[in-house]
Each structure stands twice: as C-alpha cells, then as structure tokens.
Structure 1
Amino acid sequence: MQLTFATYNIHKAVGMDRRRNPDRILAVLAEVDADVIALQEVDRRIGLRESVLPLSHIEDYTPYRAVPLNQRPDSMGWHGNALLVRRDITLAEAAVVPLPVLEPRGAIRADLVVGGHRIRVVGMHLDLSGLRRRQQLRAIMAHLGRCGHHCPTVVMGDCNEWGVRRGSLSEFAAPWQVLAPGRSFPARQPVARLDRIALSGEWRVIKAAVHHSALAVQASDHLPVMARLELPKNWAPAQESRA
C-alpha cells in the first residue's frame, strides 16, 4: 500500500504578493495531489479564529474533507493546524495533542483506515524556541505512546528547525526516520528546511520532495513538502501477527 503525505504552511492564504487568495492555495493542493495533507496557519489568529479556507470550497472543489476536531465552530483545526484526507479514507478518530506553548502553536492527530490498515497522522507547528520545540516533540511522542492502537505513524509539519543537523528533531529516536526533502522557506528563494516529515519504522520511503511550481512560489511563504510512503506487503500489527 502506497500513500502520499504532504505538509504545507499556507501563511493564512496570504501569498508573496501580500494578497489573501484561498483558491490559489487549493490550486496548489491539487498540484501536490496527496492523500493526506497537514496544513499550518489555516485559521486566523484573532476573533473567532475562523478558517481562511472556506469549508464549502474544500467540499465542492477538492477530493478532500477536513478532519473534524469540534474545538471552535468557525475554525477548521486547532491553533492553525488542520488535516485534509481524501474522502475515500475512513476516519477512525481524531484528537487535539496538547503542547506546552508560549505562543499559539499546536498539534492534532487523526487515526485513519486505508485498505484495511489503521494508520496514524499528526500535523504540527512547532515553536521558534529550540528548547520549547524539544518539549513539544516530547509531548507529541508521549501522546502517541498513550494511544490505544499501535500502527504506522507519520508526524509532519512546520518544525521551525533551521539547523542542518537534527537539533530538536533528535527526539525522534530509531527506528523513527526524519525526512528533510529540501529547502522550503522562503518560497521565492528557499534557504531553510523548516518543513519536515517523520515516519515510524514500518514505512518505506518511495520518494520525498519539495513541491516547487510557479503557483506555489506565489501562494504562500512556504513551499509544500511531500513524501510517497509504502507499507510492506507482509506488514501486520502485532495483534494480527499473533493470530
């Protein structure tokens, strides 16, 4: 089973031309054509925290649906984080992942069922402080450890990790693998690998890349990052392998 995962900080749909254009973001998502997408900065920071991507546009013009979190009626996600999944993917459960924060950051989790397999996805937007990022990643890993089902997991988002070395991302110990597909920020002349994808040991990487198109360069200050992953044919969760 192969799936494409993507993460994209959409900068509240404000592009490099300083214009807010939600439809331009949706067009970039169509170019990426992933199965599961983690979005950051998808909600406004003040007021009702409403989504900058109209849910009606997602429902009418894309193959995706937003994972419901039921936190704020006008928001799509939590602290700007949202997950989009293709409509033929079954949602088993979803939850907010509490993080230690000094500024509006957050993480969310969804358990999905694809082809009879349960998989887990976390979307996140980490702090500017390296120490706080470490604390937040420890909170995410502790949350995953408390989940009732063991299953292949993908954690992705804007990590705000500028260093070439792993830095706070060393919290992902083996057999976890952290992908840094390329420079994704700033979009016009990217110099930093801020957007990362981490995967548990069950996955095999088919392809990882930064999506760089003329439209993506204009749509946000980040470029989307994607990875095509595969579960081996003989993979099965522990409870199934003992049967």
Structure 2
Amino acid sequence: MIRVCSYNIRRGLGTDRRKKPERNLGVIAEVSPAVVAIQEAGREVASLCGNYRWREGRAYSPVRLDEAEDGVSWRGNMLLVREDVTLYQSTCVALPSVNEPRGAIIAELSYGGSDFRLVGMHFGLRGEWRHRQTQFIIDHTDVLEQQRPLVMLGDLNEWNTRTGCLHRFAARHNVVAPGPSFHARWPMLPLDRIITSAEIRVEGAGVHVSPEARLASDHLPVWAELELPA
C-alpha cells in the first residue's frame, strides 16, 4: 500500500498572508505520504527539506530535474519522495498553454517492490486549455516506451465531472474525488485530484484538514491510499 499526496502550497503564502514554506513541510509530515506532488513550489522548499526535522525514517528529498533552471521545480511543479521510495528517472514536459506557462513532471518510481509511473501536474485556469492539457498528458503517457501502472495527480482547476477535463480522464482512468480542497478556510471546490490507471486499486482517499493546513496555503492537501499491482 502506498500513500500519495497532491498539495498546492501557493509558494508558501498562507491564508494569514505570511510566507512560511516551512509550515507546508509540517503539513506534509502530518499527511505522511510516500510521494507528494507540489504545485506553486519555490526553490526554498527544496532547501528547507534538507534541514527540516522530519521524523526518523520519514525524510523527504526533491526529485532532481535536469530541465529545471533551479534543478528541482518545473513551472511551479515539484515532487518530493520519501526515503523508502526509489527513483529511476524523471522528465519534464511543457503543457499546451497561452500566457500562463504550465507543466508536468513524469517520474519512474518503485515502492515496496512495485514499479509505477507518477505524473505531477498543474492545469490552467481556462477550460479550453485544460481540455488540451488533458489530451496532451493522455497522449504523452500512452506512447512512453514501457507502460507501467500510472498515477496522475495535481491541481487541475476543475470541478465539473460531466463535461470538463475530468470527464475526459474518466473515459479510461479512475478519477478519485478526495473531496473539497479549496479554499482551505472554507473548502467548497474539489480542484485537486488523483487519477489512476485501471490496474491500481484505490483503498481510500481524503482531504487533510488540520489547523496548520488551514493556515499554510489556500489549498488543502489531498491524499489516496493505493494498492499497486505486484
């Protein structure tokens, strides 16, 4: 069983208007996922990771990205992996967009003896571009040389499951709805999602709510417990 998490941290700016990215790391520690996809990340998150006082055996490291200028964040996307997760490789892709650069990180990972592919992504604010970004991700992952169990997660800026980009994902994948994650003070919109390929069993999912999470960002983190095929 693996726990994954998606978290838009708004570059560490909390709902109290204070920029304290170390609070976001504290929230991640509360969720305790094996892998977390972060959106709106700044390089300070990576530098804080090394000195943060994680619980023993629960330390996280940012995935190194050759395409990123700072080595760890691609168009605001970042992946943190726990010590017990093996990283084989990572790549960055630019998503179709106009006037709001969007991207995704694709990582080849292993946990508990099971290999899987994870995509961390952040979609745009305009519905027409979210449709294009969805199709791009589907097409891109379809043609990768070796197919693996697939986990896609991030802030999709979408709540409509009938006609929006979530509907397109649902045609072939399992779209998990952890619950309303925005706004952190009064969660009403399920903007953050976790999507899996059919062979992955979803054992549970939810939105992490705590006093620290309500302060640390305008989004609450979402998580899912997944059973990967052996």
Q: TM-score, normalised by structure 1?
A: 0.88
CA contact (8 A) 2:94 2:103 kept: yes
Aligned residue pair count: 224
What letter matches 1:85 in structure 2?
Answer: V
Match of 2:114 among 110, 113, 117: 117
Residue 74 of structure 1: how far off its partner (Å): 2.8
CA distance in 1, matches of 2:163, 2:198: 18
Residue 52 of structure 1: how far off its partner (Å): 3.4
Query: Is 1:190 equivalent to 2:187 in the alignment?
Result: yes
CA distance in 2, matches of 1:14, 1:39: 14
CA contact (8 A) 2:93 2:105 kept: yes
What letter matches 2:38 in structure 1?
Answer: L
CA separation of 1:155 and 1:111: change in aligned 2, threshold 3 A: same
Query: Is 1:210 equivalent to 2:207 in the alignment?
Result: yes
What letter matches 2:44 in structure 1?
Answer: V
CA contact (8 A) 1:98 1:139 kept: no
Which residue number in structure 2 is paired with residue 239 of structure 1?
none
Which residue number in structure 2 is paired with residue 80 of structure 1?
76
Query: Is 1:58 equivalent to 2:49 in the alignment?
Result: yes
Residue 172 of structure 1: how far off its partner (Å): 1.6
Match of 2:123 among 99, 123, 126: 126
Give the aligned CA root-mean-square deviation in angstroms.
1.5
Question: Deviation per CA, 1:153-185, whole angstroms, max 9, x where unpaired?
Answer: 100000000325361112224441001111000
CA distance in 2, matches of 1:128, 1:179: 20
CA contact (8 A) 1:97 1:143 kept: no
What letter matches 1:77 in structure 2?
Answer: S
Which protein shows a greater Rg?
Answer: 1
Which residue number in structure 1 is paired with residue 173 of structure 2?
176
Query: Is 1:70 equivalent to 2:66 in the alignment?
Result: yes
SS for the counterpart of 1:93 is strand
Which residue number in structure 2 is paired with residue 154 of structure 1?
151
Which residue number in structure 1 is paired with residue 16 of structure 2?
17
SS for the counterpart of 1:52 is helix
Query: Is 1:5 equivalent to 2:4 in the alignment?
Result: yes
Unmatched runs of 5 consecutive residues or more in structure 2: none
What letter matches 1:99 in structure 2?
Answer: L
Query: Is 1:91 equivalent to 2:59 in the alignment?
Result: no
CA distance in 1, matches of 2:114, 2:177: 26
What letter matches 2:78 in structure 1?
Answer: A
Residue 137 of structure 1: how far off its partner (Å): 0.9
Residue 75 of structure 1: how far off its partner (Å): 5.3
CA contact (8 A) 2:2 2:111 kept: no
Residue 60 of structure 1: how far off its partner (Å): 2.9
